[in-house]
Amino acid sequence: MPDAAADGDRVAKALARAGVASRREVERLIEAGRVALNGKVLTTPAVKVEAGDILTVDGKVVNEAEPARLFRYHKPLDLVTSHSDPQGRPTVFEALPKGLPRLISVGRLDINSEGLLLLTNDGGLARALELPQTGVVRRYRARARGRVTQEKLDTLKNGITVEGVHYGAIEASLDKAKEGPQGANLWITVVLAEGKNREVRRVLEALGLKVNRLIRLSYGPLALGTLLPGEIEEVGPRVIREQFAPHIAPANLPKGDRPLWKAPAAPAAAGPRRGAVELDRGPRTGRTGRPAQRSRKAPAEPAPKTEYKAGWAKPKPKPVTKPKAGPKRRSGGKPGAATAAPPRPGGPKPR
């Protein structure tokens, strides 16, 4: 068993520190009979693990806890924040690139939400950042339909109870409002420190708004930044030590300054095919605004110059003579026949 369990940690804590799952998920694994200690299947999480014990999950031995690692991930829409989904929907962890360690999520984003999702291999760190007592600030931007005033949003600073669930202080600011035929389209920035299930949606719905887009912009000191949907980036060890050391066991603190994982380089854009003629895309002309097409023909080679030695007479150019114009002829006449002048009006003069 990992050295971290030498002081007799509970099984849920030991598995969480080893990056198997969060403590809550470990309890579910135990209930399902998937965790065993020294070959004996556990039925309760109230068991301590001592040094030298062998802990297994689904028959696989749990390795020693690794140094804490943390990743920023831009979760796209239509992905479930779970390792598996009973309904067969695609999950976040199925969409991750290869070469990453086993990771668990810090909190969740529902299938219809997008934005920053933190992933870590340290279940203890994930648990600490999720707890409301830790007070980690989350920032969201919500697009909603309906009508609300800033004064009404300010009432959320005192907390609100929705369907028997109390939510703590929330800061909400109205960023933009645009009137439409079916109500106003609003953009609202929401800042909170609890992160309960579907908190932003439920709170805004209690104010008469319907959220149709939700983006998480930041989680604690980490921001979404310029990550595109589906992109992931590892947080450096120095940042982890400076920002999250109180939530990580000393033995699990990472060393060094550079991340261990880098995203694979994107394939370079394909250049022109070998032997293909590359067109010069000139200024756009014409009604369609399409680039003016240039000729694909290669320019004609200049005629070779004749060299003349000293004493040779250069040939004089032949004079250009214009052909003489022949007599005009009527249509259908014989070649060379003169064309008669047209008769005068009124006919010939009488003699």
For the annotated catalytic residues, the residue numbers are: 110
- The closest of 107, 123, 102, 100 to 75, measured between CA atoms, is 107
Closest CA to 113 of 84, 142, 91, 147: 142
Distance CA 134, CA 124 (A): 13
Check the CA dihedral 13-19-22-26 and report its sign: negative
Count of Cβ atoms closer than 10 Å to residue 17 Cβ:
28
Give the three-class secondary structure for 180. Answer: strand
Backbone φ and ψ for 243, nearest 5 degrees, come out as -100, -25
Cβ–Cβ under 8 Å, residues 156 and 206: no
Q: Give the dihedral sign, CA 23/24/26/31.
A: positive
**3 state SS of 27:** helix
Q: 247: which 2 tokens?
A: 């939530």
- Spell out the residues 6+ positions from residue 318 whose beta carbon is closer than 8 angstroms to its own: none
* Closest C-alpha among 85, 26, 84, 81 to residue 57: 26
What tokens appear for 1 in the block?
């068993």
Structure tokens at 257: 């300054």
Q: Is 30 helix (H, G, I), strand (E, B) or coil?
A: helix
Amino acid at residue number 103: L
- Helices and strands (DSSP H and E) totals, the chain: 7, 17
